[in-house]
């Protein structure tokens, strides 16, 4: 945005300079041309006065010497023609006076009118300034004087003026560019700070605020309004998370006491009620796991942990060994593939907790005879950690909802679980500056991929 604003300012100034300097250059050229034409007309009239008695009396021998002296002093070619358009005296190259323009000017002068100049002389023109005035005697035209004036000095003078004007415009443009950059930076600095603050808040830094003492008054007011809004949102979010954590924590003790009381009732339950008693125990266990998951999420969201360097491959090896006995007991084969070392930047428990949740889900929901593969693949600046299985998988609609809290697929409602495993994984990956992706496997199954920053790309 700053670049567009500066470009807009510079284009506007360039248009203004163009609108000012083009007429100025045109006026300078026109003024210099008019001055030269007037000066040459005076010279031509003086030569016509000298040529008048010579043409009237037929004594033209002295005219050539006069024209030669005029050309030697001023560098201007001149010629005198009689009424028959025949040159009787000439100083300069005869071919120059034989051009169509010179002949036309001489014809106009023999017709009784002064003829000179074809408009403004521009620096890129090379033709001389051709002027012709009539020689009159007693009111009768008896001849004409034609002059050919070089325009090199005039064009050089115009070019010099144009160059100075152009350089002045460039200097003005450069100065204004500096002013435009400073002005744009001053105007847009609050917007930049607002953008950075919003990004920091999105990354979890709820204490970030925008400086409200820089920029135009309107943007200062916007910064103060944003800070007020951020304070309200931050306070509301903190209260919400604190409520979830406190409620979960406060419910654990009564739930544990209830679990003990229900367990102690075993000896008082007859044979007909044992199934209901067992289901009651399972529900208390499920409630306990839900509270544990909510507490884990609250701890992740409330803490501001800095990413540390971890070896994802080594952690994956450890988790495969730890889950191996349970997987074998349920008829699930665990495979470890991929790299043997893979450094990542993540919060301290992100990789092991995520793998525990993903392997637990795979072993729990895939069923006997299935295979679960844990793959670690370093990329250019990231590391992909995936847990893939060939179980029933999830439908496209279920894949979109799988990371929602307390959500469970309709087909596994009767399987133990709290529906918080993938939500915890998503929170851990987000806190590490990574990304979580759920896709289907071919021909069936589920693949969960964690993309974490590598050692050369610290987490945002």
Q: 3-state secondary structure string, 210-256? A: CCCCCCCHHHHHHHHHHHHHHHHHHHHHHHHHHHHHHHHHHHHHHHH
Report the alpha-carbon distance of residue 117 to residue 35 in Å, rounded: 11
DSSP at 85: S
Q: Which residues have C-beta within 8 Å of that of residue 340, sequence separation ≥ 6?
A: 313
Report the alpha-carbon distance of residue 357 to residue 361 in Å, rounded: 6
In which residue ranges of the chain is CATH 3.30.450.20 found?
11-156
In which residue ranges of the chain is CATH 1.10.287.130 found?
203-304
CA contacts within 13 A on the Cβ side of 5: 14
Buried b (16+ CB within 10 A) or exposed e, 370-379: bbbbbbbbbe
Other CB atoms within 10 A of residue 240 CB: 12
Q: Which long-range contacts (CB under 8 A, 24 or more apart) does 30-38 make?
A: 30/120, 32/121, 32/154, 32/157, 32/158, 33/117, 33/119, 33/120, 33/121, 33/154, 36/121, 36/129, 36/149, 36/151, 36/154, 37/116, 37/117, 37/129, 37/131
Beta strands (DSSP E) in 331-432 are 333-338, 343-346, 371-378, 382-389
Query: Could you tell me how many helices (H) and strands (E) the chain has, helices first?
Result: 10, 12
DSSP at 284: H
User: What pLDDT score was predicted for residue 290?
Assistant: 63
**Which tokens is 417 given?**
């679980």
Beta bridge partners of 77: 148
User: What pLDDT score was predicted for residue 85?
Assistant: 85
CATH of domain 203-304: 1.10.287.130
In which residue ranges of the chain is CATH 3.30.565.10 found?
305-460
CA 170 from chain centre, in angstroms, equals 26
Residue 100: Cβ-neighbour burial (10 angstroms; 0-12, 13-18, 19+): exposed
Q: Which residues have C-beta within 8 Å of that of residue 242, sequence separation ≥ 6?
A: 302
Residue 456: which of 373, 366, 382 has the closest Cα?
382
CA 24 from chain centre, in angstroms, equals 38
**Which tokens is 27 given?**
């006026």
Matching CATH number, 305-460, of 1.10.150.570, 1.20.120.530, 3.40.50.720, 3.30.565.10: 3.30.565.10
User: What pLDDT score was predicted for residue 301?
Assistant: 55
Superfamily of domain 11-156: PAS domain (3.30.450.20)
User: What pLDDT score was predicted for residue 459?
Assistant: 44
Residue 438: which of 381, 390, 398, 382 has the closest Cα?
398
User: What pLDDT score was predicted for residue 456?
Assistant: 63
Residue 170: Cβ-neighbour burial (10 angstroms; 0-12, 13-18, 19+): exposed
Report the alpha-carbon distance of residue 311 to residue 203 in Å, rounded: 24
Report the alpha-carbon distance of residue 379 to residue 158 in Å, rounded: 65
Report the alpha-carbon distance of residue 1 to residue 188 in Å, rounded: 8
On whether the CB atoms of residues 374 and 440 are closer than 8 A, the answer is no
Block residue for tokens 């807009």 = 8
Q: What is the mean pLDDT of each run of 10 residues along the chain (460 residues)?
A: 73 82 83 85 88 81 84 89 86 86 86 75 83 86 89 85 85 84 78 81 75 78 84 74 61 71 75 75 68 61 68 89 87 88 84 85 83 88 88 78 66 56 79 84 85 68
Dihedral (Cα; 200, 205, 206, 208), 10-degree rounding: -60
């Amino acid at each position: 945005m700053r670049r567009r604003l500066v470009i807009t300012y510079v284009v506007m100034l360039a248009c203004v300079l163009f609108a000012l300097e083009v007429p100025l250059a045109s006026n300078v050229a026109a003024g210099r041309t008019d001055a030269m034409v007037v000066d040459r007309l005076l010279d031509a009239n003086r030569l016509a006065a000298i040529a008048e008695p010579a043409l009237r009396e037929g004594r033209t021998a002295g005219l050539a010497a006069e024209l030669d002296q005029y050309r030697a002093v001023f560098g201007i070619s001149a010629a005198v023609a009689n009424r028959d358009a025949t040159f009787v005296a000439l100083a300069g190259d005869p071919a120059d006076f034989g051009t169509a323009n010179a002949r036309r000017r001489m014809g106009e002068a023999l017709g009784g009118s002064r003829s000179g100049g074809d408009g403004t002389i521009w620096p890129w023109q090379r033709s001389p300034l051709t002027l012709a005035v009539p020689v009159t005697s007693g009111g009768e035209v008896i001849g004409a004087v034609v002059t050919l004036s070089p325009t090199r000095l005039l064009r050089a003078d115009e070019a010099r003026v144009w160059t100075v004007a152009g350089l002045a415009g460039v200097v003005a443009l450069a100065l204004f560019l500096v002013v435009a950059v400073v002005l744009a930076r001053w105007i847009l600095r609050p917007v930049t700070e607002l953008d950075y603050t919003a990004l920091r808040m999105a990354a979890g830094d709820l204490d970030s605020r925008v400086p409200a003492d820089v920029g135009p008054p309107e943007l200062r007011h916007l910064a103060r309004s944003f800070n007020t809004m951020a304070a309200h949102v931050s306070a509301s979010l903190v209260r919400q998370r604190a409520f979830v954590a406190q409620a979960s924590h406060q419910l654990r003790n009564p739930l544990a006491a209830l679990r003990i009381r229900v367990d102690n009732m075993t000896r008082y339950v007859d044979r007909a009620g044992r199934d209901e008693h067992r289901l009651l125990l399972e529900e208390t266990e499920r409630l306990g796991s839900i509270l544990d998951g909510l507490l884990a999420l609250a701890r992740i969201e409330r803490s501001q942990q800095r990413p540390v360097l971890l070896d994802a491959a080594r952690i994956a090896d450890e988790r495969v060994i730890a889950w191996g006995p349970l997987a074998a007991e349920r008829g699930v084969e665990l495979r470890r593939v991929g790299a043997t070392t893979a450094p990542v930047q993540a919060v301290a428990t992100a990789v092991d907790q995520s793998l525990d949740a993903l392997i637990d889900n795979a072993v729990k929901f895939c069923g006997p005879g299935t295979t679960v593969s844990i793959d670690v693949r370093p990329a250019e600046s990231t590391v992909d950690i995936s847990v893939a299985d060939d179980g029933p998988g999830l439908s496209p609609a279920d894949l979109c909802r799988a990371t929602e809290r307390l959500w469970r697929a309709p087909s596994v409602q009767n399987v133990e679980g709290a529906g918080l495993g993938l939500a915890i994984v998503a929170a851990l990956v987000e806190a590490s500056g990574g990304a979580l992706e759920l896709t289907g496997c071919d021909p069936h199954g589920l693949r969960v991929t964690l993309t974490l920053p590598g050692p050369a790309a610290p987490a945002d």
